[in-house]
Structure 1
């Protein structure tokens, strides 16, 4: 006896996708650290340009003050990539 058309077109059984992995959690220290480094870097550069001649240790560092300020900003940007 020939098979009916409904028997030929059996649908595949639904299989749910595998369980999702746990979402990654940001460590608690990341956000305060990157905000602190960013603000300190900006403040360091600002103080250097506004009152650098009045602060003794800033006079001795000279242009290294820019390196210190931008270093803080760069560290803040690197830490911000760890924020999820």
Structure 2
């Protein structure tokens, strides 16, 4: 059956493989680090509240919360690169 010119042109314009698509597998360490950072941030904040602000680093007070959330956020940002 004859093929229309528009269909023929559309097939020629479509790239065979996307040049910017990165399909390399992740390194083995990526997922454990990602989940580890999320859990470490959660545990950091839990220890801060359970010990009534005495630990994990005494003397910096509420900055312990910032450190905990920072660790967890780095782990969450790593999920954007997870394939």
Pair in the same fold by TM > 0.5: yes
Task: Give a deviation string over 1:1-51, Cα, whole Å, max 9, x none.
Answer: xxxxxxxxx523x98x86556871222221111100000000000000001
> What residue number does 1:79 align with?
78
From the CA coordinates, give the structure whose radius of gyration is larger. 1
- Mind listing any 5+ residue stretches in structure 2 that lack a counterpart? none
CA contact (8 A) 1:30 1:82 kept: no
Higher RCO structure (Cα 8 Å, ≥6 apart) = 1
TM-score by length of structure 2 reads 0.68
Q: How many positions carry a matched residue from both structures?
A: 74
- Mind listing any 5+ residue stretches in structure 1 that lack a counterpart? 1-9
How do residues 51-66 of structure 1 correspond to structure 2 at under 5 angstroms? 51-55=51-55, 58-66=57-65
| CA distance 1:54–1:70, shift in 2 (3 Å) | closer
What CA distance in whole angstroms lies between the structure 1 residues aligned with 2:81 and 2:47?
29
